[in-house]
Amino acid sequence: MGRVALVTGGTRGIGAAISKALKAAGCTVAANYAGNDKAAAAFAEETGIRTYKWSVTDYEACRAGSAQIEAELGPIDIVVANAGITRDAFFHKMTPEQWREVIDTNLTGVFNTIHPIWPGMRERGFGRVIVISSINGQKGQAGQVNYAATKAGDLGIIRSLAQEGAAKGITANAVCPGYIATDMVMAVPEKVRERIIAQIPVGRLGEPEEIARCVAFLASDEAGFITGATISANGGQYFA
């Protein structure tokens, strides 16, 4: 591709797989992370991908981080808003803090990530915006009112940006992963994983690389006629 790509939450899990896939496709990748310096250093050493530390909850940090990447690597043509957190609790037990933390990262963080980059994409007449949403933003999930709300909201962002960006050569799309074999999912008790897998028609968890391949396609020049779309990569667990 020969383009510059920013991946938030790009040094671990699905984000790391996305960063690697975009590099393999020919992009110059900048992988953002929020706090795990050790993991980020190991990722950079393994891949040769440059890492940049800031929190997506901070608009000014996002603006400054994007400016630094553009000064060092060139204009950002592809942005993948992948950073996200969970603070699970049943609604009657959910605290305002648990609500705000998830909203600030998973929803406002998407605005903070894309907004500083958007004007440059408009000026250059090209852009690829991809948000990693979730199956639970499509169908809801008990114990995840906060998370599901943000991931559903992310789909609204994408559909609206698709309409605003179309005339300027910018596409905006979402990928909604189902249950993926990340460290977080693999850390749950085996019996819980078995119950999850029993709900997936293909009979297994997804792999981070399978989500990354979806992103790499949406980021490519070949995907220029696809915008406002949601790719559901969930093994047949839910149809939207």
Structure tokens at 70: 């553009």
Q: Which two tokens stand for residue 36?
A: 């795990």
Catalytic site residue 179? no
Give Cα 82 distance to the centre of its chain: 2
Q: Exactly one of 33, 52, 59, 147 is catalytic; name it.
A: 147
Residues with a known catalytic role: 147
